[in-house]
Structure 1
Amino acid sequence: MANSIFQICRLDHIAIRTLDWEKSLDFYVNGLGMRQQNEWGEAPERAAMLELGTDGRIELFEGGTTGEKPPLSQVGEWVHLAINFDDVDLAFERACAHGGTPANPPKDLDVPARPEPMNVRLAFVQGPSGEVIEICKNR
């Protein structure tokens, strides 16, 4: 369905700040198969744009800090980033092999949504900086 106001309106990118530049770059490029489009800045403040595939990008920023995070129930808190893959099991395996921490292994889920149910295969992994990634595919 098109946007009701604009002819062109799509998600361009999500920005993520990382604790470990090399681990995060390996996770997204070698683990999840993204292509590094470009990179700028110098350590400890580097940044890169990573292409997801056919649409969308992740902008990776170096220089994250540790500390207390608000609980995920906080209003406005980012919950997770969902990326659609053609093979959920392989994407989960590769993500874990390249620095991801398994959160929920691949499983089929039938959501009794309205007007039509949603049938998906999904898994969750945490990236090197604790970001939550949903790996999914509609069945």
Structure 2
Amino acid sequence: MLTVSSIAHVAIRVTDVERTLDFYSGKLGMREMMRLDRDGRLWLLYLRITDTQFLEVFPEGVGERAAERDAVGFNHMCLEVADIDVALRELDAAGVPLIRDKQMGADGNWQAWIEDPDGHRIELMQMMPDSLQAKAIARMAASG
């Protein structure tokens, strides 16, 4: 059986790389790690989330925006933040509007939602000690 250790990257296709970099690097603080060219043109670039997790950005997306929430396919990515209130103040200062205000999720974690310039939905989540995920992690650690 395959053992997966983490999500290494999430890939998105975008319409405007510079606008995307302004959002993810300029407003969310992700650093560009590298670019790969193919046939003399930008093929993809990597943005750092952690040392082992990346956002892979492909240029030349077609269409106006990402698929709607109920469409089959990629729905959203979730970025964990240490303190959701601090994160929301930083986003407000950077001019990033919320598409869904801060609320307690059904899983017991604080969450709020934004979207990037191409309409990719991003959940911001503060993991709470009594959340369903934290309890499941504790159970799994105890059972070995």
Question: Which range, TM-score by smaller chain?
Answer: 0.7 to 0.9
Q: What TM-score, normalized by structure 2, do the two folds share?
A: 0.71
Whether the 8 Å CA contact 2:45–2:57 is kept in 1: the answer is yes
Please state if 1:51 is matched with 2:40: no
Please state if 1:77 is matched with 2:66: no
Rounded to whole Å, the distance in 2 between the matches of 1:99 and 1:120 is 24
CA apart distance, 1:97: 5.4
Report % sequence identity: 23
Structure with greater strand share of residues: 1
Q: CA RMSD in A?
A: 2.7
Which runs of 5 or more residues in structure 1 are unaligned?
Answer: 112-117
Secondary structure of 1:37 counterpart: strand
Distance 1:70 1:52, change over 3 A: closer
Q: What TM-score, normalized by structure 1, do the two folds share?
A: 0.74
How many residues get paired? 127
Please state if 1:137 is matched with 2:126: yes
Distance 1:125 1:14, change over 3 A: same
Amino acid at match of 1:53: T
Structure with greater helix share of residues: 2
Whether the 8 Å CA contact 1:12–1:57 is kept in 2: the answer is yes
Amino acid at match of 2:82: D
Greater relative contact order (Cα < 8 A, sep 6+): 1
Please state if 1:120 is matched with 2:102: no
Which runs of 5 or more residues in structure 2 are unaligned?
Answer: 129-144
